[in-house]
Amino acid sequence: MNKIPVLVILLVIISCSPDRRAANDEDLTQYVNPFIIKARNLTPDNKYVSSVELNGKPVTCYQISYRDIMQGGELVFEMTDAAEE
């Protein structure tokens, strides 16, 4: 997997997710499962992604679906200090 800065990946996830706000601003957290994003070994030097897992399974493409996000779970980025050539 090519290593790219984690910020780019997070911006893509956010930009691809439709805005699901309720018209009356009701609290929707009771209807959805939490979706947690973690970055292991994240430091100022470790700014590249070496691998990504979604609910313990490797993510091999550069996208996850809106459905995956809404089902909840955990997206984990393994960070490193070296970019692949």
- Read out DSSP for 34-81? -EEEEEET--SS--EEEEEEETTEE--SS---HHHHHT-EEEEEEEES
pLDDT of residue 42: 94
pLDDT of residue 4: 52
Binning pLDDT at 50, 70 and 90, where does residue 3 land? Answer: low
pLDDT of residue 8: 47
pLDDT of residue 38: 95
CATH 1.10.10.10 fits 1-15+33-85, yes or no: no
Residue extents of the structural domains in the chain:
1-15+33-85
Tokens of 82: 């070296």
Determine contact, residues 76/53, Cβ cutoff 8 Å: yes
**pLDDT (tens digit per residue) in 10-67:** 444 444 444 555 455 556 556 668 899 999 999 999 999 999 999 999 998 888 898 8
pLDDT of residue 85: 65
